[in-house]
């Protein structure tokens, strides 16, 4: 048997160039001639057989359609109306009162903060040391302490870099 036409259709299928009719021809061919296929076509036969089998849905229960139609008829007669619960006027008044209380509290806090602000600015702008040499010495001491801690962190990072280089060597030796 000459399979050149089928091979040509399979090649076109893999390229995405087949029409729906040609794909249907492939499905039909592979489901009907599965026993006599050459080895190179037996590899693609399960794919097309699967497509053909999935195209035809099968229901195991013969009474499925009858039950479905019965449920549809029964559901057409029942209408479920969902209503939203009504709120009382007291609830609405309580919401408005809570909103007003919140607004008044926020406005009082902002007003209080605004009136207090010049006093706090004075604390931030005043000098803490009378003697400039003493201020310089304290600043230098704080910066040296910071530098010490940063250098310790740098030494620890150097140790991590050594472990990283060792890990890279191990990975390269495994390849």
3-53 pLDDT per residue, tens: 788 888 888 988 888 898 888 888 888 777 777 778 878 788 888 777 766
Q: Which pLDDT score is estimated for 34?
A: 72
Residue 47: closest CA among 23, 66, 77 = 23
Please check the confidence at residue 118 and state whether its pLDDT lies above 70: no
Residues 112 and 134 in one domain: no
* The predicted structure's pLDDT at residue 104: 94
Residue closest to 27 by CA, chosen among 51, 8, 11: 51
* pLDDT surpassing 60 at residue 147: yes
Give the span between the Cα atoms of 150 and 145, in whole angstroms: 9
Residues 143 and 116 in one domain: no
Over residues 114-133, the mean pLDDT reads 68
In this structure, the answer to whether residues 122 and 134 fall within a common structural domain is: no
pLDDT score of 29? 83
Domain contains 72? no
In angstroms and rounded to an integer, the radius of gyration of the C-alpha atoms of the chain is 42
Residue 37: name the closest of 6, 64, 11 by CA: 6
Cα 55 to chain center, whole Å? 33
One domain, residues 139 and 171 = yes
For residues 44 and 29, the answer to whether their CB atoms sit within 8 Å is: no
Same domain, 115 and 137: no
- On whether residue 64 sits in a domain, the answer given is no
The number of distinct structural domains making up the chain is 3
Residues 115 and 157 in one domain: no
Task: Give the list of residues 6+ apart from residue 41 with CB closer than 8 angstroms, or none.
Answer: 3, 6, 7, 10, 30
Calpha distance 9→22 (Å, rounded):
7
Answer yes or no: do 16 and 35 share one domain.
Answer: yes
pLDDT at res. 128: 76
Task: Evaluate whether residue 67 is within a structural domain.
Answer: no
- Please check whether residue 63 lies inside any domain of the structure: no
Mean pLDDT within 126-152: 86
What angle is formed at CA 115 by the lines to CA 109 and CA 118, rounded to 5 degrees?
130
Q: What is the mean pLDDT of residues 109-135?
A: 73
Question: How many C-beta neighbours within 10 Å does residue 50 have?
Answer: 13
**pLDDT > 80? residue 2:** no
Q: Are residues 135 and 104 in the same domain?
A: no
What is the domain range of residue 159? 130-175
In Å, what is the CA distance from 117 to each residue of 17, 112, 126? 76, 9, 15
pLDDT digits (tens, 9 = 90+) for 45-100: 888 777 766 666 666 777 777 888 888 887 766 666 667 777 777 888 889 999 99
In a domain, residue 167? The reply is: yes
């Amino acid at each position: 048997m000459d399979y050149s036409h089928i091979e040509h259709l399979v090649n076109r299928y893999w390229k995405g160039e087949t029409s729906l009719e040609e794909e249907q021809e492939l499905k039909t061919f592979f489901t009907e001639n599965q026993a006599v296929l050459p080895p190179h076509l037996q590899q693609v036969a399960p794919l097309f057989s699967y497509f053909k089998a999935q195209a035809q849905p099968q229901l195991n229960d013969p009474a499925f359609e009858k039950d479905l139609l019965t449920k549809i008829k029964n559901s057409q007669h029942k209408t479920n109306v969902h209503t939203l619960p009504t709120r009382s006027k007291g609830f609405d008044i309580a919401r408005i009162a809570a909103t007003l209380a919140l607004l008044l509290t926020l406005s009082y806090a902002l007003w209080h903060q605004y009136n207090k602000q010049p006093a706090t600015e004075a604390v931030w702008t005043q000098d803490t040391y009378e003697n400039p040499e003493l201020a310089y010495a304290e600043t230098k001491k704080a910066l040296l302490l910071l530098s010490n801690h940063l250098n310790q962190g740098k030494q620890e990072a150097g140790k991590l870099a050594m472990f990283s280089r060792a890990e890279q060597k191990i990975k390269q030796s495994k390849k």
